[in-house]
Amino acid sequence: MKKIIAVDGPAGAGKSTVSKLCAARLGYTYIDTGAMYRAVALKVIQSGKNLDENLIKDIEITLDESGKVFLDGIDVTKEIRTPEVSRGASNVAKFGFVRKKLTELQREMAKRGKVIMDGRDIGTQVLPNADLKIFLTASVDERAKRRFEELKAKNFPANLDQIKNEIILRDKQDSEREIAPLAQADDAILLDSTNLTVEQVVNKILELAQ
């Protein structure tokens, strides 16, 4: 069984949904690194200050087993999912000092093994020796539709065209940044989920993990 699984891909590809389910089936810990960048973005927004090393020096980000996210001890699970924080996360993710800090935390979390970690740079930078690397993608229309449904289900105001544009913009920014851009690792397996159900993607990953 593969002990360390890395799942990367663009916004709304379904990484967190399938990673969470795979982790539950395997008895592994799921680590949502996007939630950590979102927590940094929320901290910047709430502080009203500019992002600098001092602001995140002692930042505490905790991911619990039930999927809750805590920022400096406060439950921010819901707050980090707004479109404003999505944009903010992509902005803070450009900074080397932010990536360094979060990458260290993520490697520490993966040390125990039996983890499935998702993000943008897990297979390329954070865990280059992962036992299994997946690059999960889907068409931009499908990804926008999924994010639209997700926001609606959470009672956030949502507009499909606007979501699609934001996804295109964020993917561009994430792929073109200088440090640790969104990229498929050479040894990652490409999985296009456009026409697959969640169950089909989960089964495929579990098969590969055997």
Binding site for ligand CDP (CB under 6 A): 11-12, 16, 33-34, 37-38, 86, 89-90, 93, 119-122, 170, 174
- Burial of 3 by CB count in 10 Å (0-12 exposed, 13-18 middle, 19+ buried)? middle
Min dist. Cβ of residue 203 to ligand CDP (A): 21
* 155 dihedral zone (left: phi>0; alpha: psi -120 to 50; beta): left
Min dist. Cβ of residue 205 to ligand CDP (A): 17
Q: Which is nearer to ligand CDP, 18 or 207 (CB)?
A: 18
Count of positions (residues) in the chain: 210
Q: Which is nearer to ligand CDP, 26 or 144 (CB)?
A: 144
Min dist. Cβ of residue 92 to ligand CDP (A): 8
Q: Which is nearer to ligand CDP, 28 or 37 (CB)?
A: 37
In angstroms, the Cα distances linking 5 to 15, 19, 94, 191, 193 are 12, 9, 24, 14, 18
Min dist. Cβ of residue 195 to ligand CDP (A): 19
Cα 55 from Cα 52, distance rounded (Å): 6
Q: Which is nearer to ligand CDP, 153 or 210 (CB)?
A: 153
Tokens of 127: 């865990």
Min dist. Cβ of residue 15 to ligand CDP (A): 6
Q: For ligand CDP, which residue has the nearest CB?
A: 34
Q: Which is nearer to ligand CDP, 1 or 100 (CB)?
A: 100
Min dist. Cβ of residue 170 to ligand CDP (A): 5
